[in-house]
Amino acid sequence: MTTKDALTTKGAGNSPARALTRAALFAAVYAGLTIAVAPIAYGPLQFRVSEAMTVLPWLYPEAIPGLFVGCLIANIYGGNGIWDIVFGSLATLTAAIISRRLRQPWLAPLPPVLINAVVLGVMFQYLLGIPFILGAAEVGLGQLGACYGLGLPLLYALRRFLIKD
């Protein structure tokens, strides 16, 4: 059994009620953090502090729906319209599913960086007329900072805190 398996299969910590509660908490924190820093969380050049949470699927499978719902709520608030609500949220969902399947924790932030850069780069080109490469680079840089600068240390801290045996 890997360390990752041990973290996600321990006894009563994995009851359906606990998993649902955790997913709801992840959704609320993601949406709340994004909305709280709205001036820097939306647009081509964005830094979503909440994107640090995109590493959580590596530890918690319930983070996948939690992040999706949290992103959906944040994107409804964000004002970029239906395209961001649908495609931005689906990008987060896709990245979360892929991050969950990775074996190495240092790779967990990579899917959110790459997928959001591509999806939002296309979206900003379509909606705002920003050249794809510029939009993708701007989003990608913000994602790198949030996912690797904040998220990876979060992941390592949670692993250290959760592994007590």
Amino acid at 153: P
Asked if the model's pLDDT at residue 4 lies above 70, the reply is no
Per DSSP, helices labelled H in the chain are 3-8, 16-36, 38-41, 63-78, 81-83, 89-101, 110-128, 132-143, 152-162
Name, in order, each residue with C-beta under 8 angstroms of 52's C-beta and a sequence gap of 6 or more: 146, 147, 150, 151, 154
Would you state the torsion angle of the CA atoms of residues 141, 29, 153, 14, taken in this order, to the nearest 10 degrees?
-130
Instruction: Please give the average per-residue pLDDT across 130-146, as a whole number.
Output: 97
- Sign of the Cα torsion 27, 84, 136, 115 reads positive
Percent of the chain with pLDDT over 70: 90
pTM beyond 0.75: the answer is yes
Q: Would you state the pLDDT for residue 13?
A: 62
Instruction: Please give the average per-residue pLDDT across 147-156, as a whole number.
Output: 98
Q: Would you state the pLDDT for residue 163?
A: 66
Q: Would you state the pLDDT for residue 60?
A: 96
Asked if the model's pLDDT at residue 12 lies above 90, the reply is no
Q: pLDDT tens digits, residue range 30-73?
A: 999 999 999 999 988 899 999 999 999 999 999 999 999 999 99
Asked if the model's pLDDT at residue 121 lies above 50, the reply is yes
Q: pLDDT tens digits, residue range 77-93?
A: 998 899 999 999 999 99
Token duo for residue 26: 């992840």
Q: How many residues does the chain have?
A: 165
